Structure 1
Amino acid sequence: MYIRQTKTSSSPTGETYSTFRLVASVRTGGKVRQQTLLNLGKNFDLAKELWPQLCTRIEQILAGQLSLIPEAPAVEKLAQRYAARLVMSGPKEERGEVRETVDYQEVDIDSLELVRPRSIGVEHAGLAALAELQLPQILTEVGLNGVQQAAALGSIIGRMAEPGSELATYAWLTGQSGLGELLDVDYEAMPLIRLYRTSDLLVRHRQAIEARLFSRISDLFSLPATVTLYDLTNTYFEGAMAGNGKARRGHSKEKRSDCPLVTLGLVLDGSGFVRRSRMFEGNAIEAATLEQMLTGLAAPAGALVIMDRGIATEANIAWLTGQHYRYLVVSRERKRQFAAEQAIAVTTAAKNTVRIQRVLSEDGTELRLYCHSGQRENKETAITQRFSERFERGLAKLAAALQTPRGDKRRDKILQRLGRLQEKSHGIAQHYRIELTPDAAGDKIVALNWEKQPVPGTMVTHPGVYCLRTNELSWDEDTLWRTYTMLTDLEAVFRSLKSELGLRPIYHHREDRAEGHLFITVLAYQAVQVLRRRLKDHGFQESWSTLRRIFAGQRRITATFRQKDGRTLHVRKTTVAEPKLQQLYEALGLSASPVGVRKMVV
């Protein structure tokens, strides 16, 4: 076994470069010929004087021998990697195939060693989902070559299996995952920069990829193009991010306002698949983003757009109407009203009751649905009671201080303290009439009294009431309300992106790299959604976190034995699927033993 260096040239550029191959001499009949065992590529950079040591160490590993003299770390790392690749490239035997002969070998049981464990379950399911979405073909269509596609698939499935930064994904691909065996790609030979540059390419072709991907999703699941969900969330950076123009301070939905933020806008189909995504500045005003996201979406005229109140401004509603969209939004009106005698009852999936009052506008172009939820009433009543009790304790403390001899009774100081108390009251102070009694000179306050006087049309007087607006006049109250509840599914999407798929935090300093991180997470979500839709059809309702733990239990392992004839037998095989995993594979129509069995005798 030796290493051969061959000079060659690139056809497009004419550039000359060297390639390296691991070669062995093989006797065939009476002749000796040279057989290439592995192509080491053009980036093989081990010093030439160490080549003989590397070849010797590879032979030792394959023969199950220990090295008498410890090799240099660089030599040992490459030797382990190339020996593993040689075993993986052995003759393939699919699990369950009919064999003409049975292969019995006499081996020394005590010589058994189990090496090179790699995860395979999430990779197997993830690749199947991306293949169903035809993502490899889509990447080819937008111009990505084979190496770039391998990097893209590795990044996406890494986000599904081991959420984290691109650096963490690279460590997972090169040290823990068996994805390379499924794709026949050596990720250990791929530099880290390849993942980053492929992320740049994905962002560059983002619009084309999303359009083709959603077209494929619509064909797969026969999605009716009638409902569009739109909302935003934000995620935070670790670091100052001075070089990222979109990293801005703002209100963080993860309570991390101490960090720079970026905002992710998503347009989803009613079935939970992403139609379009975009990164905005961290301090983006929600209401100002709608037109940018929906323009060019190719949603059919008359499609129903569902939005939360932060985006449902009068200007946006007017724009939707002008573009011939229907809308169903949470009203921004502050005053609450509800007439129970005019309402009908709707039973939720959780067997709770929501009462809905239908009110048509005077010009007959818009409906308002005033909804009352008993469950929401209990929650809001508890909130207002807590804030009221806290505010009244503060008032009582101020009043008690006025009765102490040394208490500060100056009018301006009392007004300052009262102002701070009102500022921290979460709006509950508006429901109190507060009376200050001054002394004869008017410079000091001698008494403080209050009376609770709830303001009509607020959470205090109408707990559990909210209002929906729509220009869809033909649907009944039950249909409109159930359609609106799709927004809760959108909130579940954001939770999945952040908690299950590693959307947060972002470590990239460059704007395009941060956008690539978000886009890769969105692509991973699309694959997860395919798997969950398929499994849901068979009664599996688990979250992706739970499913991932089940898939992650399966491994690829190499078993090495010393044979009676002195040779070493290497068998690389996938562990048997546990019963729950077996059920998932059957529901997805996948083999329970991905890659099959590889054998090698040295």
Structure 2
Amino acid sequence: MYLQEVRTRQKGKIYRAYIVRESYRVGKQVKTRRIANVTRLPEEAREVLAAALQKKRLVPVEGLEAQEALDYGGLAVLEEAWRRFGLEEVFAGVGSERKQRLLKAMIFGRILFPSSKLALREEARGTLLAKACGLEEKDLEEDELYRAMDELNGFWSGIERKLYQGSQPQGASLVLYDLSSVYFEGEGPEGLAQYGYSRDHRQDRPQVLLAVATDGRGIPFHVEVLRGNRADSTTLTGLLVTLRRRFGIQEATFVFDGGMKSWWNLEILTGMELEYVTRSTQTKLREILRRLPEDRQLWLTDRTRVLEIEHEGVRYVVAGGEWRVLRDRERRQSRIAQGEEVLHQIAKAARRRVDPVDVGSRVGRALQRLQAHKYFQYGVDAGGRFWWKLDQERVKEEEAIDGWYLLETNLPAAKASGQAVLTHYKQLAIVEAAFSELKSYLEVRPVYHWRPDRVRNHVRICFLAFWMSARLGAEWVAKGFTEEVPKLLRRLQAIRLVKLSLKGQPLIGLFSRIPSELNALLQKIDLLSLFASPPKWAM
């Protein structure tokens, strides 16, 4: 039996009748007969009748109660990605099954609510984190999390190899490499934490260096934690050896910034028959441009063009952009203004018959700190008075090349045009974005661990979280979605799983209403199916 709605139109009006009908068979024919007309029943009663005829389970509203409502959306996406990316197999053998689940919880936690190990249990309260990892909330205890993290020791190279094979089945043809720094609160672990050049502008804190290699899509496949006082140029050789031994990379183009460029590094790359793209110095750029014939120098008026030059047997690409002109000009003007202010103060404070060595040292340090030393000339005259002036010739030299920069490569022109070389270098911005996400969204900075192995493993947990984020991001970009992955996953956490019970007994799980804008996003990136019905692990 079923409830049928019958519509009739009379004099422009629509009339509805509701009939209970029953199907029956006569020979091979299926016929129906009317059982009752229930049009006069209240609408609510008709809905109950329709549900009963469909053999749906009916319960009194008074007996229903919401047992709990837990944040679900972002975890659902991560759980599906964990399974699809084969991460169960990646961590197979890393400690016990329970410790593997704790590692999974720390990785998910890093993406959705970055916090300390101590705070993870509190942050996970009201969410399905524990269930998504096959745990209970009480399992997220600080000491247990640290012991699970310690299991990464001795397994990391194998984990990286599996991640690389999963994300790079054809191997990486383009390797983007860059460095950043992370500082410590306190002294940090002895031997690893050192004072050095800080990208976080915290020279007052000991630090470590993070070296990250990604493919052309921005998916990372290698991370290394180095002493905080290592020179950038000394880190590349070890990377090349690791990438060849661990990942079997025999042919690839390496892209890295000028800080890692040295004669020795370029010789090693060439000797290993590897190609490279890197940035050269502005001094080298000025030298090359001075030797250009006049007709080619006219090209420099159009900063949208790419100029290829061979100089002393080396291939160079000169590139620029109008926005770089403004940036270079504003940066120079700011440094000059700060330098002039410091020099005015020093001149005002300097007494007659100043010590030339002392004042020279003070001025030099102050201008170097402001990166303005090259713009000024200064000294002490015969009368012992301190003097200074702006080096106008140096300023004019820089103005002539505002917006331009110089790339050096051993890629043959037949393999990569000047524009292709420039595109390779611009992809370094992907690594810079990776560091931004790794250090900000995933809260790597600052580090509070005191054991070298735990510092490394803390960074590795963050790296694994970023690897998942980057894999998802690459998939979503292909579907036209460019928002930062952690931001969207955290927004999706607003979708909650509400568990209903009847007289204290679990009954059913329902999702909270999905806002229309999120519903459209989920449909765009093919994730709406995750919210059709609650999965078994969530119940």
User: Shorter chain as normaliser: what TM range?
Assistant: 0.7 to 0.9
CA contact (8 A) 2:68 2:500 kept: no
CA contact (8 A) 1:369 1:469 kept: yes
Please list every run of 5 or more consecutive structure 2 residues that lacks an aligned counterpart in the other structure. Answer: 1-52
Question: Which residue of 351, 357, 360 maps to 2:310?
Answer: 360
Matched, 1:131 2:73: no
Which residue is equivalent to 1:540?
481
Deviations 1:297-346 (A, max 9, x none): 23543310001111111111111111110010111463432458537989
CA distance in 2, matches of 1:306, 1:258: 31
CA distance in 1, matches of 2:362, 2:538: 76
CA distance in 2, matches of 1:319, 1:598: 51
Which residue is equivalent to 1:311?
260
CA contact (8 A) 2:192 2:226 kept: yes
Aligned-residue CA RMSD (Å): 3.2
CA distance in 2, matches of 1:252, 1:431: 24
1:152-301 matched pairs, under 5 angstroms:
152-173=103-124, 175-189=125-139, 191-219=141-169, 225-241=172-188, 243-298=189-244, 299-301=248-250
CA contact (8 A) 1:575 1:593 kept: no
C-alpha change, 1:503 and 1:100, in structure 2 (3 Å) is farther
Which residue is equivalent to 2:336?
388
CA contact (8 A) 1:378 1:464 kept: yes
Matched, 1:118 2:66: no
Deviations 1:172-197 (A, max 9, x none): 33x23203333443242454323212
C-alpha change, 1:468 and 1:134, in structure 2 (3 Å) is same
CA distance in 1, matches of 2:146, 2:533: 29
Identify which range, 255-264 or 488-497, moves more after superposition: 255-264
CA contact (8 A) 1:334 1:458 kept: no
CA distance in 2, matches of 1:456, 1:386: 13
CA distance in 1, matches of 2:99, 2:320: 53
Identify which range, 225-234 or 454-463, moves more after superposition: 454-463
Kindly state the Cα deviation for residue 492 of structure 1 after the two structures are TM-superposed.
0.3
Kindly state the Cα deviation for residue 556 of structure 1 after the two structures are TM-superposed.
2.2
Which residue is equivalent to 1:517?
458
What secondary structure, in the 3-state scheme, does the structure 2 residue paired with 1:367 have?
strand
C-alpha change, 1:343 and 1:188, in structure 2 (3 Å) is farther
Deviations 1:423-479 (A, max 9, x none): 3234544444557554xxx4x43x847463323895355322221110002221111
Deviations 1:340-388 (A, max 9, x none): 8537989xxxxx953332111333xx31112233221211112222232
Kindly state the Cα deviation for residue 420 of structure 1 after the two structures are TM-superposed.
2.9
What secondary structure, in the 3-state scheme, does the structure 2 residue paired with 1:514 have?
helix
CA contact (8 A) 2:303 2:404 kept: no
C-alpha change, 1:212 and 1:416, in structure 2 (3 Å) is same
CA distance in 2, matches of 1:432, 1:382: 17
CA distance in 2, matches of 1:514, 1:380: 37
Question: Which residue of 291, 316, 321 maps to 1:373?
Answer: 321
CA distance in 1, matches of 2:311, 2:537: 72
CA distance in 2, matches of 1:503, 1:275: 17
Kindly state the Cα deviation for residue 520 of structure 1 after the two structures are TM-superposed.
0.8
What secondary structure, in the 3-state scheme, does the structure 1 residue paired with 2:152 have?
helix
CA contact (8 A) 1:345 1:354 kept: no
Matched, 1:558 2:499: yes
CA contact (8 A) 2:277 2:409 kept: yes
Q: Match for 1:487: what amino acid?
A: L
CA distance in 2, matches of 1:542, 1:196: 32
Percent identity among equivalent residues?
23
CA distance in 2, matches of 1:301, 1:357: 30
Identify which range, 504-513 or 314-323, moves more after superposition: 504-513
C-alpha change, 1:134 and 1:598, in structure 2 (3 Å) is closer
Which residue is equivalent to 2:411?
472
Please list every run of 5 or more consecutive structure 1 residues that lacks an aligned counterpart in the other structure. Answer: 1-98, 347-351, 402-406
Question: Which residue of 384, 389, 394 maps to 1:455?
Answer: 394
Deviations 1:142-170 (A, max 9, x none): 44432122112111111111112222223
CA contact (8 A) 2:376 2:388 kept: no
CA contact (8 A) 2:277 2:410 kept: yes
CA contact (8 A) 1:433 1:453 kept: no
C-alpha change, 1:118 and 1:353, in structure 2 (3 Å) is farther
Identify which range, 298-307 or 491-500, moves more after superposition: 298-307
Which residue is equivalent to 1:102?
56
Identify which range, 304-313 or 229-238, moves more after superposition: 229-238
C-alpha change, 1:374 and 1:419, in structure 2 (3 Å) is farther
CA distance in 2, matches of 1:482, 1:408: 51
Question: Which residue of 527, 531, 534 maps to 1:592?
Answer: 531
CA distance in 1, matches of 2:537, 2:328: 62
Q: Match for 2:209: what amino acid?
A: T
Question: Which residue of 470, 479, 482 maps to 1:529?
Answer: 470
Matched, 1:423 2:365: yes
C-alpha change, 1:410 and 1:196, in structure 2 (3 Å) is same
Matched, 1:574 2:507: no
C-alpha change, 1:593 and 1:159, in structure 2 (3 Å) is farther
C-alpha change, 1:170 and 1:287, in structure 2 (3 Å) is farther
